[in-house]
Amino acid sequence: MEEKNWMELLSGQTQIAQVLDTNQYTERFGLALTNEDAQLLLQERTNALRTEQRVEFGQGILPKIIYMFCDSAYITQANYRDTLIRLQEIFYLYKNEMLDEITDDELLEFMKEQFEGVCYGDLDYLEGTCLDIFAQAIRAGYSGYQQSQGRGEFSQFDIVTRWDRELYLQALKSQ
């Protein structure tokens, strides 16, 4: 039992160090995580994995999420940690929803493209609309994302016009 706790502690410290190492890159975008942020992100990773009944080996997806999204026009230091928590939760949820048919990189490419474009940084729209529609297509047998590596895919499934998205965003702002 003591060995397991020692191994878990060492693994946790390694993961925290890997997350904090991303600061060297993200600081150029005005984003940085504290040690406490990293600890919280890794705890939330554990919670999300448990919720989605997933197992992950190695450093996990968090550093990839950080590198993928750190240059976003919609992420500021004020919302950085909380946005990473949500992106991580959404990622694990949709790995399940897409039956693991899509690679991590393809899913991240799709998420980033929609977050920046169609969603205008709205995580609820990303999760509840864009990814839901895409997951339905993948479960139904769609595999075109493999050639595009997840890029430019939503336009094939977008049944919501730009006008509707703008009305949706205005309604959110007025709430």
Summarised one tens digit per residue, pLDDT across range 117-127 is 989 999 999 99
Q: Is residue 87, in this structure, part of any structural domain at all?
A: no
Q: Say yes or no: 8 and 70 in one domain.
A: yes
Q: How far apart are CA 22 and CA 41, in angstroms?
A: 13
Q: Hey, CA dihedral for 17, 23, 24, 26, is it positive or negative?
A: positive
Contact criterion met (CB below 8 Å) for 150 and 110: yes
Alpha carbon distances (Å) from 22 to 17, 18, 171: 9, 7, 35
Q: Say yes or no: 72 and 1 in one domain.
A: yes
Q: How far apart are CA 11 and CA 90, in angstroms?
A: 24
Q: Say yes or no: 1 and 76 in one domain.
A: yes
The residue range of the domain holding 41 is: 1-80
Tens-digit pLDDT profile for residues 41-91: 999 998 998 999 988 876 789 999 999 999 999 999 999 999 999 999 999
Confidence of residue 6 (pLDDT cuts 50, 70, 90): very low
Q: Which residue has the higher pLDDT, 22 or 9?
A: 22
Q: Is residue 91, in this structure, part of any structural domain at all?
A: no
What is the mean predicted confidence (pLDDT) over 88-115?
94
Q: Hey, CA dihedral for 37, 97, 117, 119, is it positive or negative?
A: negative
Q: What percent of the chain has pLDDT over 90?
A: 58
Q: Is residue 93, in this structure, part of any structural domain at all?
A: no
Task: Please give the span between the terminal C-alpha atoms of the chain, in angstroms, as a whole number.
Answer: 51
Tens-digit pLDDT profile for residues 158-171: 555 444 556 666 76
| Amino acid at position 52, single letter | E
What pLDDT, on a 0 to 100 scale, did the predictor assign at position 66?
A: 98
Q: Is residue 85, in this structure, part of any structural domain at all?
A: no
Q: Say yes or no: 69 and 122 in one domain.
A: no
Backbone angles phi, psi at 61, to 5 degrees: -85, -15
Q: What is the mean pLDDT of the chain?
A: 84
- 0.85 exceeded by pTM: no
Q: Is residue 21, in this structure, part of any structural domain at all?
A: yes
Q: Say yes or no: 74 and 20 in one domain.
A: yes
Which of these three, 25, 48, 80, is where a domain ends?
A: 80
What pLDDT, on a 0 to 100 scale, did the predictor assign at position 10?
A: 45
Which of these three, 53, 80, 107, is where a domain ends?
A: 80
Q: Is residue 168, in this structure, part of any structural domain at all?
A: yes
Contact criterion met (CB below 8 Å) for 65 and 81: no
